[in-house]
Amino acid sequence: MSKSSSQSFPAQRCTDCGTLYGHRMFVCRECLAETLTDVSLEGEGTVYARTTIRVPGSDHQGEEPFEVAVIDVGSDMSVRVTARVENNPELKPGDSVEFIERRDGVFYFESS
């Protein structure tokens, strides 16, 4: 498993066809199986795209500005997720990030 200090990432895997998921699924998109099991991926990720939200929706009033990014997390096996990034407004596509935690359904990362 991971040799780095980052937290492992809580993914799901379809027990029938093996497809991996980051965000929670109710059925497997590929084979429609309803049984998905928890699986840990390495917590290192790469930024695919990022933005800074300066005018948030009503559920996030007062948290602005905050960074969100689309991140590929895992190493030899990876999944793409939408996530918060905690500490770096200068992030660019290709930059490395590490998974911190999943809290209230949101994935949090920080710069490596």
Backbone dihedral region of 104: left (phi > 0), alpha (psi from -120 to 50 degrees) or beta?
Answer: left
Of 3, 5, 38, 92, which lies in the binding site for other proteins, with binding defined by CB under 8 A? 92
**Site size toward other proteins, by CB under 8 A:** 35
97 binds other proteins (CB under 8 A): no
Query: For other proteins, what does the binding mask look like between residues 34 and 73, x meaning CB under 8 A?
Result: --------------xxxxxxxxxxxxxx-x--x-xxx---
Choices 3-11, 12-20, 36-44, 91-99; region in contact with other proteins by CB under 8 A: 91-99
DSSP string, 44-111: EEEEEEEEEESS--GGGTTS-SEEEEEEEEESSSEEEEEEEE-S-TT--TT-EEEEEEEETTEEEEEE
| Residue 104 engages other proteins in binding (rule: CB under 8 A) | yes
Q: Which residues pair with 13 in a beta bridge?
A: 20, 37
- Applying CB under 8 A, the residues found at the interface with other proteins are 22-24, 48-61, 63, 66, 68-70, 80-84, 89, 92-94, 104-107
